[in-house]
Every structure is written in structure tokens, then in C-alpha cells.
Amino acid sequence: MPGIFGLRAYYEDWVDSTARFVGYGLIGLQHRGQESFGIAVADLNGQVRTYRKNSIANNAFDERSLRKFTGCAGIGAVTTVKESLRREIQPISQNRVRIVNDGRFLIEGGARSFAQGLSKELAKSDPEQAAAELVERTPGGYTFCALAKDGTIIFGRDPRGVKPLSHVGLGFDNGLISSETCAFHVVGSKYPPQFVEPGECFSVTQYSKRGARCKARQRNVCSFEYVYLANPLSKIDEIPVSWVRRRIGETLARKFPQRADVILGVPETARMFAMAYSNQTGIPVAEGFSKIVGERSAIRPTQIDREIGVQLKLNPIKEVIARKNVVVIDDSVVRGTTTKKTFRYMRDYCGVKDLHLLVGSPKIIAGCPYGTEVPVEDELIAKNLEDEEISQAIGAESVGFLTTKDLAECIGLPLNELCVSCFTGRHPEDN
Amino acid sequence: MKILLVGDGAREHAIGASLKVGPTCPKLYCLMGCRNPGLIGLADGYKEGNVEAPEEVLNAATNFGVDYVVIGPEAANFAGVPDLLEEHEIPCFGAKRRLAEIERSKVFLRRIMLREKIPGRIRFLVFSNRDDAITYATENPENLVFKPSGQVGGKGVRLIEGDKVYLLSATESIKKSAAQTAEKFSSVLALDEKILIEERIFGPEYTAHFLCDGRTFIPMPLVQDNKHAFNGIEGPETGGMGSISGPGMLLPFISEEDASKAREIVEKTVGAIQKEAMDAYSGVVAGQMMLGTGCWDVPLEFYSRFGDPEGVNVLNMLDLEAGASFEEICSATISKRLNTLKVRFKEVASVVWAIAPEGYPQRRDLARDHPIDVDEAAISKDGCKIFYGSVSHEGEKMVTKGSRAVEVYAEDSEIERAREKVARAVRHVRLSDGWGLFYRSDVGSRQLLREWIEIAEDARISSRHRESKGTLYRRVDFVPGKGKIVYEI
């Protein structure tokens, strides 16, 4: 689930600022990937320079180094993977282009092979049209932003619109491209963002911006973006993520009205669910956990890293929950390991009475065909256990999940326009 | 009746077309800088020449023996064309030099509004050299607008989104360049005070045109121009890529109350400048307004002429069945009897899209000299009108001159329906050498209208707050270490 960002300046006095603005845009997307950070900038002489670091955006961002990257067109990405080879850190270089992407190209050779195709098309007089045709031929769920040596930026979205992509103006000075609209706020844009349509591609130069769209397919927007992946500041395809999260909390309140004294939302994403549940039921919401460190743990690359991250974040505050009936609302349950440990601690050392678990998403029973890291199926608790068994395993009085139908209603799109592959095991391309 | 029309853009094409229709059937003569195919088609006679040279205009007027002159572009007003014509007792629909000062000098406008306590004031600072301007912008991380102190065809205006302190050093060189650009453009006008920095306000823009004979103001339908080059409020600043108007006198996001605020501002400002110049205004005056967050309706600048493309909307919306023709309006303005005239506008919505060759506005060298094909019959069959802008008739063909080449107009009961007509008609314009044309296909779209309606509502809420706190024209700030600071504006 990387985050990608691009900037095309229309005025040449942006030459010293482009790289740093791309950097700040990526800081705005760091919730989408904390392991690598890379920027490529094309200068006015047709040279492209690339800055790559295996680290989280706000550590990788180095004002002094980025100052030296001059140019009026830049792209960048943050990813969830530490690359052992530096050249594999996005933006990758292939033929005549640098490219960043989110999601997965379901073709032999993946991103490199797509970039190779794109590089060939660039020479054509209408590269956006050629890119749209390439996208039509390339199955998968992906977004991309490519940079040519002459400073042309080409960006686009897969024909099903699985991954989100938006674009907007910043004053009169430049055009911005981002996986999520939250990054536009970070660099100061005030205009309403535009959303790239499924199968739509654009080419941008200093003096032109042209769009083209390939033949429409069944739309399959990633539903997990709304539940967990995206920042609540963002909108995806016109729909504010914060609204979806409020509706998820309200739906849980309607479906699973528990007799409880306090509602806790965990992790941070689920706090919006908890507040909406509380507003709906009148049961107070409280901050029941204290966070020692702040990075996002579920997107860490290894299991042990994830657990270290979670445990440093999830310190139950006994004084908030002791002698109380508690509802804990989580955004998702994957393996159930962190929930299990947390619940155990709450019961054994915090004197909690009843403990109910509600989950703001359907059961995760399959991997993601488009590259969002989900463990193999035999590690997924909801794939392997019935509800009552899950309660027993994690130590809850009850558990409650949303259905995919509930989730579609919360998002406000028909179920067949969403990708719910991780909740059903059915690949959208099989439809 | 004989009239001389000065200018050669799409606006002048629309003015010429409007002058020719109606009961008085005047003969139209044109003075143009380049051979506008639309005007050549309409004119009973024309001459090529410098529209900004008062002597040339006077000569043309005398040679054609016209009854009066209508001025299109502001540059002719700044150059004193109407003044020289008056000296020779040739009436003129156009603002004289000292009256056109409200457009020519943006500093003058802000000062006169401040002095006369005219509503719609914002904070502004004037700098005579770029270093002071840069220092100010560096020490005050706010959203600012850098402008040349005078009107240079809308060029040289830069927005600095400076409210994010962490972006301060990344925007250093842009501020320098913005100040330098503003200084450079002002030097063209030989103004001492070169750089105007204004607080950046945010909200929907609209243009409020008025016919004015010095005593009577007749409002025309509000129009919204779209300055960004590309769809989705994005891209470099242009002269205007398309405009919408109506249905009726207002816009979907501008209320009666906003419109009356705009009217008060324009009337008071024109009143103040008439007093100062000891002369009467004659022609069209427009406030290019913004319904801004926290400041209600503010003029970003004034026009001493029709906006382009906005003029195309309002001129075509004149209702000739129920009221006066444009020729009758011009005659009445000149003889100061606008108050006796019935001016009516059709209850329609209208949309204009400007079409420009790729390259405009950043690389006009790439945008010029392309042969252009226009299927006028097909455009009219699609229910649209075409107005030629930066296009010149050379030999057998028409070629682009580097700016907005043509403007396509349509009207209907709703903005979106007029837009659909324009969208069909633009297919009939192309460059025959294969170079690309572009236009803003979102001008008039429901989506964009919805966005402006929402932004307008945000602006009203924050403006009401400041009004209730008494801080609309009195900003109260606290600076740590310095204490309370009050700015009267």
C-alpha cells in the first residue's frame, strides 16, 4: 500500500522548491509506508536525480540534501518494504522513465515491465492516450506516476479503480498528484481535489495537461482503504473517509448494542468508530490506552516488528477500565495475536468485568491480490475459527464483525463496485 | 449612424456583433492591431493600427467620419484615447485616463477604498523595492498575494501559500521570484511603488459589470470567469478560460445580498474617483469580486471595460425584445441619459469556453502561427456562437497569435445545459497542422458549481463571525513578546 506523490511546476522559479515539496507530500503519506522513501526530480537540462532512503519519511526527509535536487517536475513514494538493493527503492528507473506505484500490476515482470511499456509510449505525440491503452492491457489494481527526462509527468489508475489517486492545483504554480488527498493539505493546497477515474491517465508538461481514459470496466474500489489504510483527512472518489468511519461506528452500535460502561477504540483508526458508537448509544467513550511510540505498527514488515510496535502503543490504563463492562472496537482482526495479548492483560491485571470485541470490518479470510500485506490463510483467525471460538481464543464475552453488505452501505457504494477480495476470497478479476 | 470600435479580441468581436443588432442598424468601423476574422466579417470598413495610440484612433475616427467611438481594451483607456477624442469633440464609450486609474493602479484602488472607507477592504502593503517585499514575506508566514502595483493584463500575480511554517524555507526562492516579477512588470508602467502585497483571500470569484454614464449605474448579470488554465482549478493563470452567467442576474453561488454588496462597492468607488478626477465616468465598469472567507465581497481589481470572456456572456444576454440594444445603450451612455433607458437581460444561463493553442499562457512562442479551421455553420447548428480572439486573417488562412484563439458561447435555461451545447460545438474548431488546442471542459459543470457553492458557504460563515466580532476591518492580533497589535483596514 505505498503512497505516491507527484508535482509538476508551471513556473521555472520552482526549480529549488520542487524536491522539498514532494518530500513534504510524502510525509503526508507516511501512514501508507514507513520503510522506504524516494524522490526523483528532472532538472531543466533533462537530467534526473534520485534520492532514496530505507527509512520513514520524516527521518528520511533531509532539507539540506533535497535542496540540491533542482527541477520543476518530481515524483516520489513511501513504501512498506525495506529494499536490500538501493536501486529497488521507488522511484525505480526503467528505460527512459522513473516510476512510482501503489498496488500491483498482474503481469509478468510487474512494475518494471509496465514501466518498460510506458517508456516506449512516451515518444508518441499523445502519451496520455498511449498510457490509457497500456493500462487497458495491464490487469491489476494499481496507480502510478512516471517521470520522463524532459519533465513530463504521466500518471494513471487501473481500469477498475482499485487504488486511490487524486490531483489538484496549488495556487497557479503547480499541479499535484497524490495517492491520498491528505497530502495536499500538508503542502498547502486549498482547492477541492479531483479524482482520477478508473482507467484514466494524464500527461502534464510545463504548458499542458491532457487526460485520456480507457474503456470502463467494473469498478472495484478497495474497501479496506476506507476502513483502515487511508488517513481520515482524505477523500477517496469524492467520499470522505471520516464519514465512512463514523457510519461504521453507527452500524456497529445498531447491530451489536452491548450493555457496557465504557467504549474504547483501538488502534487509532478505530477511535472514530468508537466515538460514533458512543454517540449512537450514549455509552461514554474513553481513552483506555496510552501510546509510548507513535509509528504505525500493523504495516511493519515482520511479525515481531509488528508486535513490538503494538505493545509499545497499547498500554491499557487500569484506572479507566477497572470494574467496568468494556466494549473494545478494533478496525480489523487479522491474526488476532495482538488483540489476544491486550485482552489478556486487561483481564489479568486491570480488573475488567465484561469485555466485548467489535470489529469495524468484515472477517479477513484471504490475501490481497493487489499487494496489501495480509498473512497467508492459515494465519488468519477468522478464516479458521467460528465466532464463539474466536471469543474463547482471545478472551472476549462476544465478538461482532460487519458483513461486506454492511461495509458497502457505510461506504455508500454498491457492493459490486468495491473490492472486498480479502473478506470473501473472490478475486475481482474473476467477475 | 456610424461607430468606430477599437480593439481586436473576442471581447471586441462580441461588442461589434452586439452593436450591429437592434433597431438602429449602425455602420460599424474597426481599428484593430491584428486582422480579427470575426470583426472583418462584421465591419463596414476597417483599418489596421495601434489601438493604444490616441492619434491613430483619432485619425481613424475622423477618416471614417463616425458619430462615436467604442473602446474595447483597457490599454486604450490608460493611454488616454477617450481623452483625446473628447478634445476633438468625438464622443466615446470608454473611461478616460484619470478614471481608468482604478484599473491601471491597484495601489490607487486600495488607497481610495481605504480613504473613503468603502466596504470590501483587505490588508495591503506597498513596497518600492523587492528586498523589502521579500523581507516582509519572510517574516510573515501567511498566505499572501504578490502583485505588480499596476494592471499589466493580469500578468505577474503570484499566490504564495505561506501559512505552513515548515514550508518557509522551501518557498524562499519563489517569494524572491514573485517580488522580482512584480517589480519587472511595474517598471513597464513606470510606477514608483512597484510591489503590492495583499493578504490572500479565498472564495469564489465573480465579475459584476455596470453600465455607467457618470450618474446612473445599470447592473448587468453576474459572471464567473475561470482563470486557471486546466480543469479542476489547476494550472497557470490565464486571461480567463471560460465563464458562466445566470440563470438570470445572479450566479448559483452568489446571493442577492452579495450582489448588492458588489454594487455598493462599485458605485462608491466610481463616485470617489469621479470626485478625485472631477470628471464623469462613461462606459462599462466592473468589479472583479471575490466572496472571500472572513471579508465578504472584495474587489480583487476593477475593470474600466468589459471583462474577456465575461463581456461575451453579458452582451449576448441583452434582451432586445424587452429593452434597449447595445447601440442604444452606448448612445444613451454618451449623452448621459442611461436613466431614461430600459435595459433588460434574458432570463437565461450562459456559458463561454475559451479555446487556446497548447503553449498558452506559459509558452506563447509555441502557441502562435498555427493555421486554424473553424466550421462556423456546424457551431451555429449546435446552437452556439463563436467569437474570434487571438487569431489573424493572413492571406487565405487564419492563424493563431499565441493567446486564446476563439471563444464559444451558448445559452439555455440552466448552466449545465448551455455547457453541453458548448461541449458539442468545440469539436468544430481545430488546428490544421495537428498542434493541440485546449479548453476547460469543466467550466459550467455541476461538479464545479457544487464546489463553488460549498466554498461560498464557508466564506459566508467566517465572514459573519468577523462581522459579529467587529473585526471585518479591524484585525486584532497577539504577537508573543510584543503584545496586542491592531490593524485598521
Question: CATH number for the domain including B346?
Answer: 3.30.470.20
Residue B413 belongs to a domain = yes
Q: Which residues pair with B290 in a beta bridge?
A: B205, B298
Give me the total of CB pairs closer than 8 Å, taking one residue from chain A and one from chain B. Answer: 105
B360 to chain A, any CB pair closer than 8 A? The answer is: yes
Are residues B234 and B185 both part of a single domain? no
Minimal Cβ distance to B159: which of A171, A186, A207? A171
Question: Which residue of chain A is at minimal alpha-carbon distance from B358?
Answer: A208
Query: Which segments of B128-238 does DSSP mark as H helices, in order?
Result: 130-139, 172-188
Confidence of residue B484 (pLDDT cuts 50, 70, 90): very high
- Please say which residue of B438, B455, B481 terminates a domain: B438
Q: What is the pLDDT of residue A309?
A: 66
Q: In chain A, which residues have their Cβ closer than 8 Å to the Cβ of B166?
A: 24
CB pair distance less than 8 Å for A192 and B174: no
- Does residue B151 sit in the same domain as residue B34? no
Classify residue B486: in a domain, yes or no.
Answer: no
- Is the Cα torsion angle B346, B30, B358, B236 positive or negative in sign? negative
Q: Give yes or no for B451 touching A (CB within 8 A).
A: yes
Q: Are the CB atoms for B308 and B154 separated by under 8 Å?
A: no
The alpha-carbon gap from A194 to the nearest alpha carbon of chain B, in Å, equals 6
pLDDT at A164: 98
d(CA B335, CA B67): 12
B273 and B307 co-located in one domain: yes
| Number of domain units in chain A | 2
- pLDDT score of B190: 66
CA distance B210 to B286: 6
What's chain B's Rg over C-alpha atoms? Answer: 22
Please tell me the predicted confidence (pLDDT) of residue A238. 95
Residue A244 and residue A203 in one domain: no
Cβ of residue B142 closer than 8 Å to a chain A Cβ: no
B222 and B327, same domain (yes or no):
yes
Instruction: List the one residue out of B315, B328, B212, B329 whose CA is nearest residue B269.
Output: B212
Q: Which domain holds residue A170?
A: 3-216
Confidence of residue B107 (pLDDT cuts 50, 70, 90): very high
Q: Which residue in chain A is spatially nearest to B231 when comparing CA positions?
A: A209
Measured CA angle at A90 (ends A85, A94), to 5 deg: 85
The total of other beta-carbon atoms located within 10 Å of residue B187's CB is 12
Closest CB from B173, B237, B454 relative to A172: B237
- Spatial separation of the C-alpha atoms in residues A118 and A130, rounded to whole Å: 8
Distance in angstroms (rounded) separating the CA atoms of residues B387 and A114: 45
Query: Of A215, A217, A214, A239, which Cα lies nearest the Cα of A226?
Result: A239
Quick one: B232 and B377 in the same domain? Answer: yes
pLDDT tens profile B424-443: 999 999 999 999 999 999 99
In chain A, what residues touch B174 (CB-CB under 8 Å)? 11, 13-14, 17, 173
Predicted pLDDT of residue A298? 64
The per-residue pLDDT for B150 is: 84
Could you give the C-alpha distances from A264 to A217, A252, A299, A331, B180, in angstroms and in order?
41, 13, 22, 12, 56
Question: In this structure, which amino acid lies at residue B182?
Answer: A
Kindly identify which residue of chain A lies nearest to residue B364, measuring between CA atoms: A207
Query: What is the C-alpha separation between A139 and B407, in angstroms, rounded?
Result: 41
DSSP state of B128: S
Q: Does A13 touch chain B (CB under 8 A)?
A: yes
Best B234, B355, B358, B451 member to test A by mutation, with max A CBs in 10 Å, is B234
pLDDT, mean of residues B282-291: 98
| Most A-contacting residue of B230, B358, B451, B457 (CB-CB within 10 A), to test interface | B230
Same domain, residue pair A12 and A157: yes
Q: Which residue type sits at A100? A: V
Query: For residue A346, what is the domain's CATH number?
Result: 3.40.50.2020
Note the pLDDT of residue B155: 78
The shortest CB-CB distance from B170 to any of A17, A170, A191 is to A17
CA dist., res. B139 & res. B124, Å (int): 15
Same domain, B193 and B212: no
Residue B467 inside a domain? The answer is no
Q: Which of A197, A216, A235 is the last residue of a domain?
A: A216
* A10, A132: one domain: yes
**How many Cα atoms occupy the beta-carbon half-sphere of A100 within 13 Å?**
34
Chain A residues touching residue B239 (CB < 8 angstroms): none
Cα torsion for A357, A363, A366, A368, to the nearest 10°?
-90
CB atoms A172 and B161 under 8 Å: no
Domain that holds residue B288: 205-438
**Pick from B166, B362, B451: CB nearest A10:** B362
Best A207, A209, A210, A213 member to test B by mutation, with max B CBs in 10 Å, is: A207
**Is ipTM beyond 0.95?**
no
A218 — contact with chain B (CB < 8 Å)? no
Spatial contact of B231 and B245, defined as CB atoms under 8 Å apart:
no
| Cell numbers given for B113 | 477604498
Pick B161's closest partner by Cβ from A11, A16, A188. Answer: A188
Q: And the C-alpha cell for A154?
A: 504521466
First to last CA, chain B: 49
Asked if residues B426 and B369 have their Cβ atoms less than 8 Å apart, the reply is no
Beta carbons of B363 and A21 less than 8 Å apart: no
> Measuring CA to CA, which residue among A134, A136, A178 is closest to residue A153?
A178
Structural domain ending residue among the three candidates B30, B62, B97: B97
> Given a cut of 90, is residue B189 above it in pLDDT?
no
Let me know whether A210 and A276 are in one domain: no
User: Is the CB of residue B165 less than 8 Å away from at least one CB of chain A?
Assistant: no
Cα B412 to chain centroid distance, Å, stands at 23
Q: Give the residue from A194, A216, A238 where a domain finishes.
A: A216
A110 plus A232 within the same structural domain: no
Query: 3-class DSSP state for residue A53?
Result: strand
CB A179 within 8 A of CB A4: yes
User: What pLDDT is recorded for position A273?
Assistant: 97
Rounded CA gap, B486 and B478, in Å?
A: 9
- Same domain for A25 and A165, yes or no, is yes
Within a domain: residue B53?
yes
Inspect the interface and report whether the beta carbons of B234 and A209 lie closer than 8 Å. yes
Question: Is the distance from CB of A400 to CB of A359 less than 8 angstroms?
Answer: yes
Averaged pLDDT for residues B198-225: 97
- pLDDT attached to residue A84: 86
Report the CATH number at residue B33: 3.40.50.20
DSSP line for A119-187: HHHTTSS-HHHHHHHHHHH--EEEEEEEEETTS-EEEEE-TT--S--EEEEETTTEEEEESSTHHHHHT
pLDDT the model gives residue A313: 72
Let me know whether B245 and B301 are in one domain.
Answer: yes
Instruction: Return the percentage of chain B with pLDDT > 90, whole number.
Output: 86
How high is the pLDDT of residue A294? 59
| Look-up of cell digits 497577539 | B478
Quick one: pLDDT at residue A136? 96
Contacting residues of A for B227, CB less than 8 Å apart:
172
The whole-chain average pLDDT of chain B stands at 95
- Average pLDDT for consecutive 10-residue bins of chain A (431 residues)? 96 95 97 95 95 92 91 97 89 95 95 94 87 96 96 96 97 95 95 96 94 92 96 97 98 97 91 97 94 66 68 84 96 89 91 96 94 88 94 95 98 96 87 54
The pLDDT, as a whole number, for residue A314 is: 81
Same-domain check for residues B252 and B164 = no
Considering the domain architecture, whether residues B180 and B277 belong to the same structural domain is answered as: no
Q: Which of A15, A172, A186 sits opposite B228 (nearest CB)?
A: A172
Whether B446 maps to a domain, the answer reads no
Contact at CB, A172 and B455, closer than 8 angstroms: no
Whether B218 and B193 map to the same domain: the answer is no
Q: In terms of pTM, does the model score above 0.90? A: yes
Residues B196 and B148: beta-carbon distance below 8 Å: yes
- Tell me, what CATH number does A195's domain have? 3.60.20.10
Shortest Cα distance, chain A CAs vs residue B199, angstroms: 14
Peptide bond into B37 cis (omega under 30): no
Q: Identify the CA nearest to B86 among candidates B339, B253, B281.
A: B281
Contact state of A169 with B359 under an 8 Å Cβ cutoff: no
Please tell me the least confidently modeled range out of A302-316, A356-370, B207-221, B305-319: A302-316
Q: pLDDT higher for B395 or B68?
A: B68
Boundary-marking domain end, from A216, A242, A268: A216
Residues in chain B: 489
On whether any CB of chain B is under 8 Å from the CB of A207, the answer is: yes
Number of domains in chain B: 3
* Same domain membership, residue B367 and residue B237: yes
